[in-house]
Structure 1
Amino acid sequence: MSYRHREDVPKRQLVPEDLNELHAQELKAIGKVSVPQALGRPHKGLLQLLKQEQRRRDKSAEREWTFDEPKFDNPVSKRRLKIFNALFLALSKRGHDGDAYEHDGEIHARAAIGDTYLGLDIGIVGSHRTVRQHGYVRPAPDLPASTPLALRIDPGFDRKNTVSWQDDGDAKLESKIAEIAAGIIVAGEKKFRLSLREAEERAERERIEKEKQRQERLAQLNQKRLQTLRNSGELLRQAEDIRAFVERVRRAIDEGSTDIDATALEAWQRWALAEADRIDPVRSGQILTHLNEPSL
């Protein structure tokens, strides 16, 4: 049996490598979960949404009509909230979390398995009556609480690779909370492992790209080194040509074939040899620009 620690959950909690084993472990640890008939003690992940609903309810009581009326006072929405609440409490029992919020009149929820987030959704199964409210098509508010529902885990918040449970005869979602919570924990672990592999693959791609860029840069530096070497060869030839020319002129004067003022000749010779030294790659130090192998 192989176990490992996860960095984003308490270290005392061991996670089996086998996901089926993890599911069985979590299902056993969660145990039996009941869904209270009322939200008397809601999970903290629902508090903000419920407070917002209560403010709407209070405004509606004060006025005959208000645009911002309660959005989840209908039987189906109340059932959704109770299921989410039971699910969040079950996850909390295992050191995880969940929360829900309202957006455009809909309940949006997610689970947090360690530092890994997964989308959660409870929708109506099959055809049902709808109404248009504030520009949106919504389930009819008078649909009964017995309306068939399905809960879906959306790991990537993109409706891909989803896992779902639904009302099935007498087996309602409320009787499957422990199973769903264990499934969410497994899905979170699976996503976490996938993220590790993706991070490793991304790091490898970055390493390969950096090495490619390094090799390209070294190739550029070596090309520059080669060009500088060629320049050194050309400069050395020019310096040697000047020195050879000065020597030839000196011999010609010594042989008496040319009548040149000695002082002027001496000055010219010093100047010419100084120019040769100036362009000589060894004496000028220009050779140092390509003496050592390029490095980054």
Structure 2
Amino acid sequence: MDAEFARKELYDLVWSQPMRTVAASLGISDVALAKHCQKADIPVPNRGYWAKKQSGKPTVQIALPPRFPGASDRIGQTKYNNYWDPDWAEKFKDITIPPAPTFDEDLCSVEERCRKLVGDIRCRRKFEPAHPLVAKLLAHDEERRKEFTKWHYNSCAPKYDGGTARRRLLIINALFLAATRLGCRPSMNTSKYVEEPGGNRDLWITIGQAHVGFTIEPIKSKKVGHSDRLCLSFGSERLGTKTNRCWQDNNESQLENQLTEILVQMLLTAETSYRDRLVQRREWIINRRSEAEAELKRQLDEAERKARELQERLERERIRRLLSQAKALDRANQIRTYVESARLRFAEVPMTQAEFEKWASWAQREADRIDPLKNGTIGLTIKEHSAGTPEADH
């Protein structure tokens, strides 16, 4: 879809005309339009809606639900692609600066809505059910268990049968299942060669257009006999995105009992990230347009400079030719004067009249050859000057 719409704009459009009519006007199929609407959580008329409306029967228009935290409000192709080409400045100078982004909900209202969406997350003591990504790690554990039974090497021992590693994976499983239920997309490196536990296995949950990363790492206890505490932090120290948002086991509550608040804050982080990106995008467009105007001015100044240099070079070349022709005329006149002087003093020259006339004829031809008035070069120069400097005619 070449056009770009806000969710509300596309919602109003699909409820104003049948889907096929709207899709045809946009140059796409009704199936593609339905996919765009589904991705943006825009309800569309049910089958038979327009027939009922045409026959005067009562119909119900489904209200547009609030935008999911972190999801984009724009549907379709962005207008700001491919502006790094050599002629990017010319393309970008006329781009309209979008208005400052506004939002229907303040962040407090979004947080309240997130709490209703998340509900209450409970961390089970067993992987029943197991999220598909967690199930892969458990499958690797089964392979290690078989190897351990066969060889009894500690390096082959299962990782998730107990202890901190099992707690950690149960927490991940609970968060991933809850996020998936909301339509978010968890991700995790499921390689069997990643060490556990620790922060080497980066965890991510894609919420709308935002990717919220986090780690769950053990904190070594300084007291003898006390088990390690777990700490969940947003971002990744390995990737340099660690933040100060963290939750950990404490005397009042274990990490398992804080998962509801953690997921709520993940949703809120995704929404904040989306809003910040909109502001940054607008600032980028403003700066890029300013850079385009500066670049076009630079190109114009450069073109004018080159034109001046070319004109100055042409003028220098004209003067050089003018001086060269003046010298040629002077040399031609010198030759003719010399020949005439020699003719007057022919008696002093030890040669015959025929020999002298032969030499004089050759010298006269040479004088005519270099004479700009005789060889026509002065005419070409005058025509070129008249064509290049119209003011010379006045």
Name the counterpart of 1:149: 230
What is the identity, as a one-letter code, of the residue corresponding to 2:119? G
Q: 1:268 to 1:148 in 2, by over 3 A?
A: closer
Distance 1:165 1:30 in 2: 18
The 8 Å contact of residues 234 and 242 in structure 2, kept in 1 or not, is answered as: no
Name the counterpart of 1:175: 257
1:14 equivalent among 67, 70, 85: 67
Quote the offset at 1:193 in angstroms: 3.7
Q: TM-score, normalised by structure 2?
A: 0.54
The 8 Å contact of residues 90 and 178 in structure 1, kept in 2 or not, is answered as: no
Quote the offset at 1:165 in angstroms: 2.3
SS in 1 for 2:206: strand
Distance 2:379 2:197 in 1: 85
What is the identity, as a one-letter code, of the residue corresponding to 2:131? H
Matches within 5 A, 1:8-87: 10-12=39-41, 14-15=67-68, 17=103, 18-87=106-175
Name the counterpart of 1:95: 183
The 8 Å contact of residues 59 and 66 in structure 1, kept in 2 or not, is answered as: no
The root-mean-square deviation of aligned C-alpha atoms, in Å, is 4.4
SS in 1 for 2:215: strand
1:282 to 2:282 alignment = no
Unaligned ranges ≥5, structure 1: 131-139, 289-296
Distance 2:281 2:157 in 1: 45
2:317 equivalent among 235, 240, 262: 235
Distance 1:76 1:127 in 2: 12
Quote the offset at 1:28 in angstroms: 0.2
Name the counterpart of 1:293: none
SS in 2 for 1:120: strand
Q: 1:123 to 1:253 in 2, by over 3 A?
A: closer
Q: 1:95 to 1:271 in 2, by over 3 A?
A: farther
What is the identity, as a one-letter code, of the residue corresponding to 1:51? A
Q: 1:58 to 1:195 in 2, by over 3 A?
A: farther
The 8 Å contact of residues 239 and 276 in structure 1, kept in 2 or not, is answered as: no
More displaced stretch, 205-214 vs 75-84: 205-214
Q: 1:25 to 1:121 in 2, by over 3 A?
A: same
SS in 2 for 1:182: helix
More displaced stretch, 23-32 vs 227-236: 227-236
SS in 2 for 1:110: strand
Quote the offset at 1:266 in angstroms: 3.9
Which structure carries more strand by proportion?
1
The 8 Å contact of residues 117 and 155 in structure 1, kept in 2 or not, is answered as: no
Name the counterpart of 1:113: 207
The 8 Å contact of residues 49 and 100 in structure 1, kept in 2 or not, is answered as: no
Distance 2:313 2:161 in 1: 86
Quote the offset at 1:184 in angstroms: 0.8
SS in 1 for 2:384: helix
More displaced stretch, 179-188 vs 260-269: 260-269
Name the counterpart of 1:294: none
Show CA shifts across 1:54-94 (max 9, x none): 21112112222252322332322212111111111111122
More displaced stretch, 158-167 vs 57-66: 158-167
The percent of aligned pairs where both chains have the same amino acid is: 19
Task: State how many pairs are aligned.
Answer: 269
Distance 1:279 1:52 in 2: 90
Distance 1:74 1:27 in 2: 31
The 8 Å contact of residues 99 and 111 in structure 1, kept in 2 or not, is answered as: yes
Q: TM-score, normalised by structure 1?
A: 0.69
Q: 1:170 to 1:268 in 2, by over 3 A?
A: closer
Distance 1:104 1:280 in 2: 87
Quote the offset at 1:278 in angstroms: 7.0
Quote the offset at 1:213 in angstroms: 5.9
The 8 Å contact of residues 43 and 85 in structure 1, kept in 2 or not, is answered as: yes
Distance 2:378 2:236 in 1: 75
Quote the offset at 1:219 in angstroms: 4.4
Distance 1:116 1:272 in 2: 83
Q: 1:73 to 1:277 in 2, by over 3 A?
A: farther
Quote the offset at 1:277 in angstroms: 6.5
What is the identity, as a one-letter code, of the residue corresponding to 2:246? S
Show CA shifts across 1:122-164 (max 9, x none): 234562579xxxxxxxxx9xx76xx643322227843533312
Q: Which has the larger radius of gyration?
A: 2
